[in-house]
Structure 1
Amino acid sequence: MNDLYQSFIKNERQQQLFSLAENLSKKIKERAKEADRNAAFSFENLQDLKESGYVSLTLPNEYGGEGISLYEFLLLQEKLAEGDGSTALAIGWHLGIVMELRDERLWDESVFKNIAGEISKNKKVLNRASTEPATGSPTRGGVPETSAVKDGRSYILNGRKTFTTMAPALDYFIVTAFMEETDSVGSFLIKKEDPGVHIDPTWNTIGMRGTSSDDLLLKDVRVPKERLVELKNAGGKKSAKGWLLHIPACYSGIAIAARNEAVRFAKNYQPNSLDTPIAEVPHIQQKIGEMEIELLKARHLMYSIAERWDQQPHQQEHMGPELAAVKLVVTNAAYRVVDLSMRIAGGRSLSKEYPFERYYRDVRAGLHNPPMDDITIQMLAKRAIENE
């Protein structure tokens, strides 16, 4: 077992789950370079995830899943991201949303039971489609321009959604739309085969290229009213979203991959100006030690907050600031670790023959995932002021 995970795996169940993620991580690592080069989501990776049962892990046991905890979710996602950050982040949205639906009971039980069967038996995958060109991230509070107009027992949806991760591979989209009739925002469950649903392959970024976070286009999509699955500010929702910690877990996994690559490089690279590999050089050891410190601080914070989330459900609604702090600390630490790994490898870290430059591009994306650093800082400041 990798020493980096040894202190976080606490029982036999977690070891078995970790072994599943470890095997998948090795497989998807082999395809990471190709997915990055083509800026395309790997359907081969998704097939491996489906065949292994990974896509069902956050479902309740009674619906064919493993009912994994937040702590276990992060452990698996971090390891998976070591192999390929894009694949881990993409499937993390699916698993996290299923966990959210499971724990917060946002949907009618019959609707959730049906979608759970689709996931566990037919290996279907889903994601939310909320971000739009004009409104930006929904975490900033923008009202969607996508419209839902009632027409008899159906709604007609029109609009464009951006950053729809894993778009070409999704079977279901949970789409937010403004409902003028009731002056509210609803979430509609849309199937990929519904007439008027199109994917616009717009994803062409420097990092996380394999997520295929394309645009979703809706043109007069007719949705029966039974598929209006959520209304904004509906009762029972929690203000804190523990499942979103899959984001920092993913970037932590990328940082671990960069750390491992840098240590291997340092132990094996010996220029003719030295009598030993560069791992024996003091300033290289300094950088390796700095990577270890960053990972120790960030990961112990992440797993301790996840454990508290699992063990103290009565406190979850008050944990928003802590969850946001985890995202800020871990993603920024991951960014520093990857930078240090490249300093260790020197000019070779810029070569496409090594994975460092891909790790660097991928980890940079973490700074733009929600919640943003400025929101987190303000949240923590306000809490400190109010509690004094």
Structure 2
Amino acid sequence: MSRPLPRIAPPDPDRLPEVGAALAARAGENDREAAFPYDGVAAAHQAGLLTATVAERYGGPGGGLAETVRILQVLGAGDPAVALVTAMTLFAHAAQARDGSWPERAYERLAADSAERPVLVNALRVEPELGTPIRGGLPATVARRRGGHWELSGHKIFCTGAEALGWMLVWARTEDEAARVGSFLVRGGSEGLRIARTWDHLGLRASRSDDVLLDAVRVPADDVIGLAEPGAGGGRDTAGGAWNALGLSAMYLGVARAAQHWLTGFLHERTPTALGAPLATLPRFQSAVGEIDVALSGAERLVAALAEAADAGDPTGAEQAGGAKLLATRAAIGAVEQAVALVGNNALTRANPLQRHLRDVLCSRVHTPQDDTVLLTAGRTALARRTLTEGT
């Protein structure tokens, strides 16, 4: 390590509810204005949440996936836009803790800066023509070698937190005849980098997942991760996949819990004249709220258990993470949809947050791994298991 790094304080779990409440107070306004939640990100930083997974060797607390799941569920209930940019940053630090793939000098700078101020990190991979790279294909974004540096040119879409990112891991290919691919480290605000405000989404409006345009953006020669021929990277990153699947599942379960919280308040307050008592006193509503609570509690326990397994080195945590995401996101979406059905027109009134929770929770389906991929993998595994059983 080239220089002493400042110590990064661990997150204070007692402050989590306070941060979540502060985010919730501004979430509706940020959603209406589609404005990036800088105040919320600052609050997360001050509570040590953005740096919870920085490794101890870099001065950080070295938090694991189970702690990340707890953080993201609370932040998701407060403001999922803050939770999502926090998740991407925590995942990047956790990946460095596992495999040390960043150039040492660059990551030391990131760690030192993160001790002082909020520094958001995200991987920019999706492109207009390519779509999500998990489906295969090479990026159109090109890195050209120019003496002691690279020049990156290309177009990335769905770049969460684009305007506020301190570091962007831009997936690109070299212009060699035998192209190599890797993630090039681009600093936010670099010359030749432009944010196009294209984000006009149904949900997670405050995430500002805008387009990033790169025009001969300079990157130091060594600031690249995993540069290799396509398919030479050693296979799928199962650990990273588990962090992504379980962390984002927790975030959307937080959204559903926020919806449930609003629902129970509404049912206690709503007293129809003909009934003469709050809706909360009716068995029909009590049973429906119970169904929501059971579904969410089961999904939360599954996600938490697999996160703890992953932290303990149990391969079950990674192997079952995709299936857990499918179950958790279905539970979260179903819970919010059921809340909307119970409330009726009031649920879709813009003045009430339930319509925002519905729009936000629907975004859970688009994150990798998507349902069709999870089910295809699970089906093939089950069929292969039957074949092996018959052969014994």
Matches within 5 A, 1:33-52: 33-52=28-47
Q: Whole-Å Cα distance in 2 between the matches of residues 167 and 378 of structure 1?
A: 32
- 8 Å CA contact retained: 2:49, 2:71: no
Q: Whole-Å Cα distance in 2 between the matches of residues 193 and 140 of structure 1?
A: 30
What SS does the aligned partner of 1:254 have? Answer: helix
Letter in 1 for 2:88: W
- Ranges in structure 1 where 5+ consecutive residues have no aligned partner: 1-13
- Ranges in structure 2 where 5+ consecutive residues have no aligned partner: 1-9, 387-392
Matches within 5 A, 1:158-169: 158-169=153-164
Matches within 5 A, 1:274-353: 274-311=275-312, 313=313, 315-316=314-315, 319-353=317-351
Tell me how large the CA RMSD over aligned residues is: 2.0
- 8 Å CA contact retained: 2:37, 2:81: no
The aligned counterpart of 1:243 is 243
Letter in 2 for 1:254: V
Q: Residue by residue, what CA displacement relative to the aligned partner does 1:184-243 show, whole Å, maximum 9, x if unpaired?
A: 211110012321011111111010101000001000112121112322544697334222
Quick check: 1:259 aligned with 2:260? yes
The aligned counterpart of 1:268 is 269
What SS does the aligned partner of 1:186 have? Answer: strand
The aligned counterpart of 2:22 is 27
Q: Whole-Å Cα distance in 2 between the matches of residues 140 and 252 of structure 1?
A: 26
What SS does the aligned partner of 2:169 have? Answer: strand
Q: Whole-Å Cα distance in 1 between the matches of residues 281 and 180 of structure 2?
A: 63
What SS does the aligned partner of 2:222 have? Answer: helix
Q: Whole-Å Cα distance in 2 between the matches of residues 89 and 111 of structure 1?
A: 23
The aligned counterpart of 2:142 is 147
The aligned counterpart of 2:65 is 70
Letter in 2 for 1:70: L
The aligned counterpart of 1:6 is none
Q: Whole-Å Cα distance in 1 between the matches of residues 385 and 379 of structure 2?
A: 10
Matches within 5 A, 1:73-152: 73-152=68-147
Q: Whole-Å Cα distance in 2 between the matches of residues 141 and 105 of structure 1?
A: 25
Deviation of the 1:344 alpha carbon? 2.5
Indicate the percent of aligned positions where both proteins have the same amino acid.
Answer: 30
Q: Whole-Å Cα distance in 2 between the matches of residues 78 and 126 of structure 1?
A: 19
Deviation of the 1:370 alpha carbon? 1.0
Letter in 2 for 1:264: G
What SS does the aligned partner of 1:346 have? Answer: helix
Quick check: 1:211 aligned with 2:207? yes
Q: Between Structure 1 and Structure 2, how many residues are aligned?
A: 372
Cα pair distance change 1:109/1:224, threshold 3 Å: closer
Q: Whole-Å Cα distance in 1 between the matches of residues 277 and 233 of structure 2?
A: 64
The aligned counterpart of 2:179 is 183
Candidates 226, 233, 250, aligned match of 1:230: 226
Q: Whole-Å Cα distance in 1 between the matches of residues 260 and 254 of structure 2?
A: 10
The aligned counterpart of 2:389 is none
Candidates 365, 368, 373, aligned match of 2:366: 368
- 8 Å CA contact retained: 1:168, 1:212: yes
What SS does the aligned partner of 1:386 have? Answer: helix
What SS does the aligned partner of 1:174 have? Answer: strand
- 8 Å CA contact retained: 1:56, 1:64: no
What SS does the aligned partner of 1:252 have? Answer: helix
Q: Residue by residue, what CA displacement relative to the aligned partner does 1:308-349 show, whole Å, maximum 9, x if unpaired?
A: 1111x2x44x75441111111111110011011112322111
Letter in 2 for 1:205: H
Segment of structure 1 superposing worse, 117-126 or 162-171: 117-126
What SS does the aligned partner of 2:130 have? Answer: coil
Q: Whole-Å Cα distance in 1 between the matches of residues 104 and 311 of structure 2?
A: 23
